[in-house]
Every structure is written in C-alpha cells, then in structure tokens.
Structure 1
Amino acid sequence: MSLAAVSQVAAADEAVLEVVRSDDERLVSLPMPEGEGWCLEWNHSVEGFPVLDCYRHRDGRMVLERSHLPDFAAGLDHIPGRGIQVSDGEGGYWIENIDEAVPGNAYRLRVGSMRVDHRLVIDNTRISLSSLAENQRVTIRLTLTPDASEARQTQ
C-alpha cells in the first residue's frame, strides 16, 4: 500500500490514529472516530503464526480491549486477572475484556522485519508497518483533534 493510501484527512470532531518515526515523520494517519477500533497484528518470531492486540478509541482514550493468541507459544500466555481467556474454537484463544487504557494514548514499537511483518488491521485493510519502517522505532498514537479535545473538556 502506498504512503498516499495510508493518509486520510480526519473530520474536525474525530481522533487520528498515527504511526510516526522518532524524527516525527508521519508514516500513517487515519481517522479514528469514537468507538472505532483497530488491531496490531504480527507474526510470532518463533512459530510464525499471527498474533493480534486489538484497541478501541473509547472516551478519547486508546484502550487495549483484547488479544488473540493462536497457541501457547513462547511468550504467549494469559496473565490471571488481566482479562478473560476464551477459546477461539480453532486451538487458540482470545483474551477478552482486558480494557486497559494505554498511558498517554501512545506506545513505542520497534517494527520487526518483513518476516515478523507488524501491520495495522482496520476492518479488512492491512497496512504493513514493516514495509514502511522495518527495524525502526515508531510511536503508535491516538491523537485527538483540537475540536474533539475541546468537546471532551466541556462534557
């Protein structure tokens, strides 16, 4: 997907999901209205299967809602008290109801190689962060537009 295809203009009352390099170069900028969600998907470094962390824009916050883990491979397990583990019906599991707000609405990620292929998933669209910033540090952030921030403060 071309860089032009991953940049859209947000309406004044929306938030924007952005991926930026450490020098503040914006790689991805997509409207992310209240209630909408996205996932970060990547291939497990040992087993190669896809893993998902899914977020939602909730009340002006980036909230980790759920994770999908197709196996109990290295580093993939459920932490008791952090969400509810349920079968996905295919040998893996979802951790539902994590509901953790991401501090500052942003986190840093060292984007993996194309073998790992970190990608944003929004509806049925996948944007490969590895093709845009392989082996680089980026920040994934939910940024409220000024109008949306002001509206929240007056509520």
Structure 2
Amino acid sequence: MNARTAAVVLLLAALLAGGTAAAVAHPDSPLTERVIVVESSDGETLIESDAEGFVLSYTHSVEKTPVIETYERRDGRLVMTRMEFSSYGAGLPAQADVERTGNGSFVFAPNDSTGELYVKPGRIAGHELRIDGETHDLVALSNAETVRIYVGTRTTLRPEIFQWD
C-alpha cells in the first residue's frame, strides 16, 4: 500500500470513528437510551434504570406523616406527576389545588418539570425510592448523604461489536 492510499484509509477511519462517536454521544441517537440515574454526592452511580418513572416516599420531618411523590421521565427531564400527603406542613403545597382521597390524604398533580432532583435522605424521614419493582433505601444506599436524580443517557452498543481479532 502506497503512502497516499494509507493516508486515505486513515482519514476514512478517523471520519468513521468520529461519526460513530458523535452518533453515540447524542441523546436522541438510536445507539443510546435515556435512563434514570441516582448518583451519590461524589458522582458514583447508585442506581441506573430504563424505567419510565419512580416513586419517592418519606416521612415529613415536621408533620411526621407520609409523603409520596411520583415522577416520570419525559423528554430528558423529570416530571412530578403526583404528590400524596396526609397533612399540611413546611414544604408541602398549601396553596395548591388538591383533592381528598378516600383515606383522607391530599393528592396534588403539579406536572412540574426539572432537569435534576436533589434529595437529602434522612434517617428519621426514611427516604425510599421505588423503581423497576424494587424499593431502595436511599439512607442506607447513600449513607444519608445527598443524592442527585436525573435523566441521563447510556449507550446501547455491545462492547463485543468493536473487538478486533
């Protein structure tokens, strides 16, 4: 192979590699999927799931009553679709349009969207996250340190596709 042919081959390989990397890096690429990520304060991934949503439950620190928040993954963001609580207190939606359930709880459907959610799991509050049919104790998982929950992307490529013999 002469020098010119080798240069063309190298250029084509670089362009192909760059195009593949760009396709993999883009969140809407068919080579990636959106996932819900729960990350520790030092950036370690604690939970990663392709679930459509999750439920965050805890005991309100002042009222000592249960709070259940439901989130969905939409267009790369987290959307709180439902909040259920038993009494009004600090941080709960006192001015919101709420409905009463049969068990006496209040239900609020805010449809608020956020790029990321920070939760400080408390030992008394007992924060739990239900996702993919499993319940995770966020206090134990994070050692009661703040966690960040957001929608990320992961590649769907299998590493064995790129193994060279």
Greater percentage in helix: 2
Q: Secondary structure at the match of 1:145?
A: strand
Structure 1 portions without partners, runs of 5+: 1-10, 148-155
* Alignment equivalent of 2:41, drawn from 22, 29, 33: 22
Give TM-score, length-normalised by structure 2.
Answer: 0.66
CA shift in 2, pair 1:130/1:85, >3 Å: same
In structure 2, the partner of 1:134 is: 143
Structure 2 portions without partners, runs of 5+: 1-29, 157-165
Q: How many angstroms does 1:72 deviate by?
A: 2.2
Is 1:108 aligned with 2:118? Answer: yes
Distance 2:31 2:106 in 1: 38
Q: Share of identical aligned residues, percent?
A: 29
In structure 2, the partner of 1:151 is: none
Asked if the contact 2:49/2:132 (under 8 Å) is kept, the reply is: no
Q: Secondary structure at the match of 1:111?
A: coil
Asked if the contact 2:77/2:116 (under 8 Å) is kept, the reply is: no
**Larger Rg, first or second structure (1 or 2):** 2
Structure 1 residues 74-153: aligned runs within 5 Å: 74-80=90-96, 84-96=97-109, 98-102=110-114, 105-113=115-123, 115-122=124-131, 124-145=133-154
Consecutive aligned runs of 4 or more in structure 1 exceeding 6 Å deviation? none
Asked if the contact 1:112/1:134 (under 8 Å) is kept, the reply is: no
Write the deviation string for residues 62-87 of structure 1: whole angstroms up to 9, x where unpaired.
1111111122244433334xxx4111
